[in-house]
Amino acid sequence: MSTPNLLGNRYEVREKLGSGGMAVVYQGHDRLLERPVAIKILQENYAADEATVRRFHQEAQAVARLSHPNIVAIYDVGEEQGCHYLVMEYVSGRNLKELLKEKGTFPPDEAIQITRQICDALQHAHENGVVHRDIKPHNVLVTSGGRVKVTDFGLARAAASAEATITYPGTMLGSVHYLSPEQARGQLAGKEADIYALGVVLYEMLTGGLPFQGDSPVSVAIKHVQENPVPPRQIRPEIPAALEKVVLKAMQKDPGQRYQTAAAMGADLVRVLNAFAGPESDDTQVLTGLVAEEEEEMPRRRLRLPVWVVALVLIGVALYGLYLGWQAYWVVAEVQVPPLVQLPLSEAEKVLGQMGLKWQMGSQRYDASVPEGYVIGQDPPPNSQVKLTRPIVLDVSLGPRMTTVPPVEGETERAARLKIEQANLQVASPVRKEYSQAQPGIVVRQEPQAGSQVKEGTNVVLVVSQGQEPKPVIVPAVVGMKLEEAEKALTAAGLSLGVVREEDQDNYQVLRGYVVAQSVAANTAVDEGTSVDLGISRGPGPQAQTGSVFGIIMPDDGQQHQVRIVVRDAIGEHTEYDQTHGPGESINPTITYYGEASQAVVEVYMDGKLLHSGPIGTP
């Protein structure tokens, strides 16, 4: 399966950035918003598994709703030509694993700053019901400015059905060093597993090594379950004791003994960081959820207050906290949501910005009637009252789906129709026809031209050949001819014999089989190849009769003479006598004629010259 160069008619796939157990990552470009993106494409062996693909899309859509500065944003998810892909925010920087290989260890304050940002990302994800399950340095990106971006949210979960335990090869082999004890036991992993993995990442940044090593993934997983890590200060004594406590608390075997939220872990890291600038040593810092050092450099006197005073103070603090929370949640300005549908995205963004509102991308879908980059839906709807803190979700049009016009010139009309419909196009009606040198029924021209990019549903005009243009010919007169003679006359004129039918008229005047009518009148100009229908007599026609021609005498000039007698009667013109005679010879030939004698005419020719023309006399 080859990777397409353009996905969703929007995302250009450019150079390869890297690959993992499940997917390959490419740098891409978003044509709609003119920005760089990262495109992650599911590898072919996973793309063939329906369950993995379904979870891939479900989780991607869930993670796409996350919006946090420390999380790599997912912009889109889709499938094209068998490629299942995610479109994500492009981060210019390096992953934490690369930085670890380069630096070996991090100064405690730098390690805290990185870990604290990861805590913020995990807290946001956990609050939205998303568990990462694969926190490791490879999935943490660090920009040149120190901004941390956690990536691959949801992707590990999408593969969970195929990699639920370490007995399977693939992504789990690369992640086993960051595996929580409950994951190693094959149990369902919750947010506590992410905190454990983050503890391992912090351990690695501080010590330059992993807490557990082994000959195989299984042996490493067993150590996560059974062994305690070497305390970081035994490896690197300059690590503050309070920071070591944070690491070891995050890596507790029992999920209930770890930090219960990423925010709690982040808060302790902030306290450790602040202690660097304070007068007290690391050993005297008391952190939330931790036991303070039993030994202090100098004993201190403690002021003991009555219990009721302490209770009043605590109640007052609690009430004040509730008041501040109420203020933060409820006392927020409200505005009326403006109508944004049918606006370009850039203009909608400007309108919201002027009102102090934020927005986030909703769905992006094709729409035949709305141009690309225009808003086609919004939530909340126009004129709703919302707080300034609530983002407006905008659905954006990808424009009409485009398709390529197939080449159909030289195809039969039926084959051309099939190709056009398969390309989600339509054949314009009616189909135009014209004369050409091509065989009848062959497509000789199309519009738009083959290879053109057009909207799906566009009409394609076809011009189909009718064959060569016919020449005009004159219809001959065939009435009175025998049918065979009439057909020859029509063919010689470039016409064809059409339907032949027997007629009831003139049955006693015209012999059977003779033409009595033609569908196109004689001497009419018609196209070459036109068919002419004929009517023929049923017969029997007129009876044959005989008569004589008297007194034909040859000149006495010593030469032979040719005598020909032609009769024109009810059946037409026919020669009845044609012989040679000697000089001075006298003849009275008997001839046959049809119809009334008064309507029959006899013509006598001698040596080609007409001697007599008149009615037939009876013998």
Residue 581: strand pairing partners = 561
User: In CATH, what class is 95-284?
Assistant: mainly alpha
- Provide the angle, in degrees to the nearest 10, between the axes of the packed helices 191-207 and 262-275: 30
Write the secondary structure of 99-132 as one string of H (helix), E (strand) and C (coil): HHHHHCCCCHHHHHHHHHHHHHHHHHHHHCCCCC
Question: Integer distance in angstroms from the first to the last C-alpha of the chain?
Answer: 104
Residue 268 is predicted with a pLDDT of: 94
**CATH T-level fold of 334-397:** Trypsin Inhibitor V; Chain A (3.30.10)
SS3 262: helix
Answer yes or no: same fold for 334-397 and 402-465.
yes
Does the annotation count 134 as an active-site position? Answer: yes
Residue 309 is predicted with a pLDDT of: 54
Number of neighbours of residue 313 by Cβ within 10 angstroms? 11
Which residues have CB under 8 Å from 304's CB, separation 6+?
none
The CB-side HSE value for 596 (13 A sphere, CA atoms) comes to 2
User: In CATH, what class is 544-615?
Assistant: mainly beta
8 Å CB contact between 44 and 1: yes
Question: Rounded to 5 degrees, what are φ and ψ at 241?
Answer: -60, -40
Which residues have CB under 8 Å from 388's CB, separation 6+?
332, 333, 334, 335, 356, 357
Distance CA 152, CA 132 (A): 8
8 Å CB contact between 127 and 167: no
Residue 99 is predicted with a pLDDT of: 94
Residue 173 is predicted with a pLDDT of: 35
Residue 487 is predicted with a pLDDT of: 95
Which residues have CB under 8 Å from 251's CB, separation 6+?
196, 199, 200, 203, 211, 229, 258
Given the residues 30, 134, 152, 194, the one annotated as active site: 134
Residue 317 is predicted with a pLDDT of: 54
Distance CA 513, CA 503 (A): 10
356: its two tokens: 């102090």
User: In CATH, what class is 402-465?
Assistant: alpha beta
CATH 3.40.50.300 given to domain 6-89: no
Low-confidence ranges of the chain (pLDDT < 50): 155-174, 279-303, 328-329, 618-619
Rg, C-alpha atoms of the chain: 51
Distance CA 179, CA 196 (A): 8
Residue 616 is predicted with a pLDDT of: 78
Distance CA 266, CA 269 (A): 5
Distance CA 367, CA 396 (A): 9
Indicate the domain borders of the chain. 6-89, 95-284, 334-397, 402-465, 472-537, 544-615
User: In CATH, what class is 472-537?
Assistant: alpha beta
- Provide the angle, in degrees to the nearest 10, between the axes of the packed helices 262-275 and 108-127: 160
Residue 283 is predicted with a pLDDT of: 41
The CB-side HSE value for 49 (13 A sphere, CA atoms) comes to 16
The CB-side HSE value for 606 (13 A sphere, CA atoms) comes to 15
Which pTM does this prediction carry? Answer: 0.47
Q: Which amino acid is at 463?
A: V
Which residues have CB under 8 Å from 291's CB, separation 6+?
none
Please report where in the chains the tokens 């070459």 appear, as a residue: 528
Sign of dihedral through CA atoms 280, 281, 285, 291?
A: negative
Number of neighbours of residue 32 by Cβ within 10 angstroms? 18
**3-state SS of the chain: helix, strand, coil percent to 5?**
30, 30, 40
